[in-house]
């Protein structure tokens, strides 16, 4: 085998003992075993399905620094990632882009390197395969052609197919990437979901059934991201903690779902998760204590992980394989929380010419139960039931409606409109993507609502006050699959706790009502855009006042002229739009918070409310806005203040 220089275990000096140049001899595990590991040996330092670097599948047997390394694949110029071992331990699924090929697809090979065959074909890139208990394959793919909401690069969502690639079906409808699906012991799928909703940008763990139903937040607060999660033998999760967008490197963390889903826990909350390598920073390079990726259980209380020694930049990183165990104190109950620490972190293997990633035990493992699908593909809708819009938490910066004081008798149901490959992204000067109103639905007197909505459509909700301003905006994309009845919502971002959330309205009135029908064709979704609706009103009724005259600035510093100006990412829009869009670098005091009419001074002036209460609406006189124009300004802000 090839060893990195002995300081490959210098990481131990940083995490477990005083600083040394090499590992003490008794640190190296010399136990004999017949088990083997499969892993990826690659030139890549970038992961999360963005690398085209050359690589191959490699086997280490036994799992020891003295184990023998043999190739399972031996391609030249192929890009390989994401191995997954079959339940009987005899085969491996993986993602590969062949040398000279156009796309990554899913392939399968026997553990001895024979029987290579292609599973998926066609356009888009396929990654992250999993064997499902019912004999199908789950994977992520960019074949929808939709773009993520941050980089506007092709985004990967969840798909399933049969083992021969037939019966291909998309099962997730997130607006940005889904990463690293993993089977839970109960047969559901846990995965990292990229949520970029306006100015929110996070990577929590979500859970879904293998048919895409029941998709819901599983673990993660607003201030921490978790990548490469894997299930521990006790049913907890082990993951990489990060504060970076797409930054899947950092310290190891043990997640403790028995203490609750860490939603909406604040950062640094060690009740819900323990960072077990605290010297390793979670905010990206430079890594003065190195960084981890891809932890994985390999039986009992033993784990394998990819680790790089201290590195100033990503190009300096050299990931090798290490093993470790976990020490636990505490019973692991709500009353006696468990705490964890890394023990016996041990160098296993490194070839300094390559990076070693995503090692997994090449052996039989338990097959979870099959989760039977409840979908009805003969219909094109699903049903949501929410118990209580007044049940909500306190930490996301939004208002908390009070039952009996605040009138909430309707919700806005909003669809996200994906940006597709080749489409220019000059539709906004702020962080919001394109959105459209499906319609309004009633909220009953107890705070519950029930709605029928288009299936396979990314949605969000906004509870509305008596002036139809968004009171609380759900800043995550949810969806139903065909025929699904989603009845898990007991509040609006309520404080979720260990053992389940105590419902404030366990017998909602809406449950006894027929769902309000919002299953309308996409052609009937309503958009409000500056270019064709708000801009003409501004020109007709606002610019005559709100423009600079000579050296005198526009009233209120609000220039609403159509002079071309440059916003974020060097995109050009009319100055009036930039100054009303919430684009943060143009005005000292923003007049619009996109998505939040109740927090936007523009809507205060248009409706004569909030900071403008008692002073009448603005503009006044012959330029007064009509009732329809006021509604459109309000809805334009709610939908994210888009340009086109």
What would the pLDDT profile of 209-221 be if each residue is shown by its tens digit? Answer: 999 999 999 998 8
Coil vs helix vs strand at 531: helix
- Is 341 in the same domain as 203? yes
Model confidence at 526: pLDDT above 90: yes
Residue 514 lies in a domain: yes
- Given this model, what pLDDT does residue 266 score? 59
Q: What are phi and psi of 472, to 5 degrees?
A: -125, 130
Which among 484, 499, 524 is the end of a domain?
524
What's the pLDDT score for residue 588? Answer: 67
Residue 329 is assigned to a structural domain of this protein = yes
Q: What is the pLDDT of residues 537-567, one digit of tens each?
A: 999 999 999 999 999 999 988 999 999 999 8
Predicted TM-score (pTM) of this structure: 0.93
359-418 tens-digit pLDDT: 999 999 999 999 999 999 999 999 999 999 999 876 677 888 999 999 999 999 999 999
d(CA 531, CA 45): 43
| pLDDT, mean of residues 336-345 | 92
Instruction: Give the distance, in angstroms, between the CA of residue 595 and the centroid of all CA atoms in the same chain.
Output: 20
Q: For residue 395, what pLDDT is reported?
A: 62
Above pLDDT 70, what percent of the chain? 92
Q: Is 398 found in the same domain as 330?
A: no
> Is pLDDT larger for residue 335 or for residue 549?
549
The pLDDT, as a whole number, for residue 332 is 87
pLDDT in the model for residue 5: 37
Say if CB 321 and CB 349 are below 8 A apart.
yes
| Distance from C-alpha of 415 to C-alpha of 523, rounded to nearest angstrom | 12
Same structural domain, 552 and 610: yes
Angle CA(376)–CA(381)–CA(382) in degrees, nearest 5?
80
Asked whether residue 471 falls in the same domain as residue 597, the answer is no
| Angstrom distance (rounded) from CA 273 to CA 203 | 15
Query: How many Cα neighbours within 13 Å face the side chain of 358?
Result: 30
CA pair distance 301, 202, nearest whole angstrom: 30
Domain presence at residue 375: no
For tokens 């708000």, name the residue.
534
Assess if residue 643 is contained within a domain.
Answer: no
The residue-averaged pLDDT of 133-146 equals 97
Domain end residue (candidates: 502, 524, 546): 524
Residues 262 and 238 in one domain: yes
Percent with pLDDT over 90 in the chain:
77
> Same domain for 500 and 540?
no
Angstrom distance (rounded) from CA 374 to CA 179: 25
For residue 568, the model assigns a pLDDT of 72
Q: Yes or no: say if 255 and 237 are a contact pair by the CB < 8 Å rule.
A: yes
The domain total for the chain is: 3
Enumerate the H helices of 1-142 as residue ranges: 10-15
pLDDT band at residue 269 using 50, 70 and 90 as cut-offs: low
Is the domain of 427 the same as that of 544? Answer: no
In terms of domains, do 497 and 605 share one? no
Segment 93-100 mean pLDDT: 96
CB-based contact 129:138 (threshold 8 Å)? yes
Q: Is residue 131 domain-shared with residue 264, that is, in the same domain?
A: yes
Residues 258 and 122 in one domain: yes
Tens-place pLDDT, residues 595-637: 999 999 999 999 999 999 999 999 999 999 999 999 999 999 9
Residue 496 lies in a domain: yes
Label residue 1 by pLDDT band (50, 70, 90): very low
Is the separation of the CB atoms in 120 and 354 below 8 Å? no
Residue 415 included in any domain:
yes
For 52-75, what is each residue's pLDDT tens digit? 899 999 999 999 999 999 999 999
- Is 368 within a domain? no
* Phi then psi dihedrals of residue 606, to 5 deg: -65, -40
Question: In this structure, what CATH number is given to the domain that contains residue 222?
Answer: 2.120.10.30
Contact present, 41 and 351 (Cβ < 8 Å):
yes
- Taking every pair of Cα atoms in the chain, the longest distance, rounded to a whole number of angstroms, is 89
pLDDT of residue 268: 55
Residue-averaged pLDDT of the chain: 90
Domain boundary, last residue among 328, 361, 394:
361
Beta strand segments in 66-144, E: 68-71, 79-85, 91-97, 105-110, 117-118, 126-131, 137-141
Given this model, what pLDDT does residue 2 score? 46
Residues 19-40: pLDDT tens digits?
223 333 333 334 444 589 999 9
Asked whether residue 370 is domain-assigned, the answer is no
Task: Give tens-digit pLDDT for 177-234.
Answer: 999 999 999 999 999 999 998 888 999 999 999 999 999 999 988 789 999 999 999 9
404 and 486 share one domain:
yes
The residue range of the domain holding 197 is 6-22+37-361
Q: Are residues 228 and 303 in the same domain?
A: yes
Phi, psi of 73 (to 5 degrees): -115, 155
DSSP label at residue 475: -
Neighbours of 235 (CB within 10 A): 12
Q: How far is CA 214 from the centre of its chain?
A: 16
């Amino acid at each position: 085998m090839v060893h990195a220089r002995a300081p490959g275990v210098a990481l131990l000096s940083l995490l477990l003992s005083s600083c040394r140049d090499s590992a003490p001899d008794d640190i190296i595990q010399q136990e004999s075993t017949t088990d083997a590991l499969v892993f990826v040996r690659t030139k890549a330092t970038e992961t999360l399905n963005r690398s085209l670097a050359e690589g191959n599948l490699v086997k280490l047997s036994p799992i020891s620094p003295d184990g023998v390394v043999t190739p399972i694949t031996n391609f030249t110029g192929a890009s390989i990632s994401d191995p997954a071992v079959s339940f009987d331990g005899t085969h491996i699924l993986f993602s590969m882009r062949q040398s000279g090929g156009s796309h990554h697809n899913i392939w399968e090979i026997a553990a001895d390197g024979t029987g290579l065959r292609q599973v998926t074909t066609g356009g888009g890139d396929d990654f992250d395969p999993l064997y499902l208990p019912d004999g199908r394959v789950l994977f992520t793919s960019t074949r929808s052609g939709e773009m993520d909401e941050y980089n506007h690069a092709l985004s990967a969502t969840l798909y399933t197919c049969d083992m021969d690639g037939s019966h291909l079906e998309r099962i997730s409808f997130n607006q940005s990437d889904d990463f690293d699906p993993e089977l839970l012991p109960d047969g559901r799928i846990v995965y990292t979901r990229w949520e970029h909703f306006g100015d929110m940008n996070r990577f929590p763990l979500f859970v879904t059934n293998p048919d895409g139903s029941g998709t819901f937040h599983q673990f993660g607060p607003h201030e921490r991201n978790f990548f490469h999660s894997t299930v521990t033998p006790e049913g907890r999760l082990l993951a990489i903690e990060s504060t970076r967008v797409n930054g899947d490197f950092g310290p190891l963390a043990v997640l403790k779902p028995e203490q609750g889903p860490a939603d909406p826990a604040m950062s640094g909350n060690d009740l819900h998760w323990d960072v077990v390598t605290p010297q390793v920073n979670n905010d990206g390079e430079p890594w003065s204590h190195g960084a981890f990726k891809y932890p994985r259980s390999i039986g009992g209380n033993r784990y394998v992980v990819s680790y790089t020694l201290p590195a100033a930049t990503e190009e300096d990183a050299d990931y090798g394989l290490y093993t470790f165990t976990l020490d636990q104190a505490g019973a692991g109950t709500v009353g006696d929380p468990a705490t964890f620490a890394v023990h016996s972190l041990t160098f296993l293997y490194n070839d300094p010419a390559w990076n070693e990633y995503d090692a997994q035990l090449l052996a039989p493992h338990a097959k979870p139960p099959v989760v039977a699908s409840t979908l009805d593909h003969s219909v094109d809708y699903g049903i949501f039931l929410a118990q209580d819009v007044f049940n909500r938490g306190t930490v996301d910066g939004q208002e908390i409606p009070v039952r009996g004081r605040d009138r909430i008798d309707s919700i806005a149901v909003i669809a996200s409109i994906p940006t597709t490959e080749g489409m220019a992204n000059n539709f906004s000067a702020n962080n919001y993507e394109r959105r459209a109103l499906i319609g309004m639905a009633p909220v009953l007197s107890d705070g519950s609502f029930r709605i029928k909505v288009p299936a396979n459509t990314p949605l969000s909700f906004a509870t509305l006050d008596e002036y139809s301003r968004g009171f609380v905006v759900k800043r995550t994309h949810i969806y139903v699959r065909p025929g699904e009845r989603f009845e898990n919502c007991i509040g609006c971002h309520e404080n979720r706790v260990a053992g389940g959330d105590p419902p404030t309205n366990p017998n909602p009135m809406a449950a006894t009502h027929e769902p309000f029908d919002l299953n309308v064709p996409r052609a009937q979704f309503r958009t409000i855009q500056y270019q064709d609706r708000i801009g003409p009103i501004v020109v007709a009724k606002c610019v005559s006042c709100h423009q600079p005259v000579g050296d005198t600035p526009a009233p209120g510093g609000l220039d609403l002229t159509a002079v071309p100006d440059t916003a974020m990412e060097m995109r050009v829009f009319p100055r009036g739009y930039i100054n009303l869009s919430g684009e943060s670098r143009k005005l000292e005091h923003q007049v619009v918070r996109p998505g939040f009419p109740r927090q936007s001074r523009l809507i205060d002036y248009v409706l004569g409310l909030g900071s403008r209460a008692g002073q009448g609406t603005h503009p006044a006189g012959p330029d007064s806005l009509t009732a329809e124009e006021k509604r459109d300004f309000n809805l334009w802000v709610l939908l994210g203040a888009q340009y086109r």
